[in-house]
Chain A
Amino acid sequence: GAVVSQHPSWVICKSGTSVKIECRSLDFQATTMFWYRQFPKQSLMLMATSNEGSKATYEQGVEKDKFLINHASLTLSTLTVTSAHPEDSSFYICSARSGWRRWTTQYFGPGTRLLVL
């Protein structure tokens, strides 16, 4: 099956710093990538949808200036958490899909655990 990787797998940073998380589709071209956040004991919440070559669409309540998303190529999307604070500590998961058909499945990355001190 299709493989999606994330880097780094975990990161610890000081409050106020920025953290960049990469999401790569390894063996297919991802026209659309999704970024999710998961707090402990909770389900995944969609943060934003990014289509290659265009601006990301953010879900209500997600600050686009704080969570910068770049989808510059068909195999790479990045999420930058700017000026991270302890409340941003979470598990960030990306997914990728190929093509535009609604029934195409999404393939999920292994996640990145962020801890902001």
Chain B
Amino acid sequence: KQEVTQIPAALSVPEGENLVLNCSFTDSAIYNLQWFRQDPGKGLTSLLLIQSSQREQTSGRLNASLDKSSGRSTLYIAASQPGDSATYLCAVPNGETSGSRLTFGEGTQLTVNP
């Protein structure tokens, strides 16, 4: 059974800092890995999707890397801003079916202080 772990559970940083969020998964046979953002009481916003054949993806100040063999992914946020405050979730699809059910990590709650 796939298990996804995120470290740290919570992170508080001053504005402007570069930071790294970590995600690890137990079964390296994944098709892709996705990072999401969730604001309090809201749904999920997809940030980055990395295919298993890729090593990283970039979108603006966000950069996500994937190391399948070690079962790890990192989300790098450059020059953090208060608006980045949210919970960040990583997820991997599991199963061979086309449904690709997602297994989520517990999330990292990020607070960026002005």
- Verify A106–B42 contact, CB threshold 8 A: no
Inter-chain residue pair count (beta carbon < 8 A) = 65
In the bound assembly, the distance between CA atoms of A49 and B94 in angstroms comes to 13
- Does A44 touch B at the CB level, under 8 Å? yes
Stretch of A14-22, A64-72, A107-115 with 4 or more beta carbons under 8 angstroms from chain B: A107-115
- Verify B42–A111 contact, CB threshold 8 A: yes
Interface size on B, residues (CB 8 A): 25
- Does B113 touch A at the CB level, under 8 Å? no
Given contacts A43-B89, A44-B89, A102-B98, contact A113 B41 (CB under 8 A): yes
Beta-carbon contacts of A16-48 to B below 8 Å, as 1s and 0s? Answer: 000000000000000010100000001111100
Given contacts A93-B44, A111-B42, A113-B41, contact A106 B104 (CB under 8 A): no
A residues at B contact (CB < 8 Å): 1, 4, 6, 32, 34, 42-46, 49, 51, 57, 59, 91, 93, 95, 97, 100-111, 113
12 other contacts beyond A93-B44, A105-B34, with CB at 8 A cut-off?
A32-B99, A44-B91, A49-B99, A91-B41, A101-B98, A102-B31, A102-B32, A102-B100, A103-B31, A106-B100, A108-B45, A108-B46
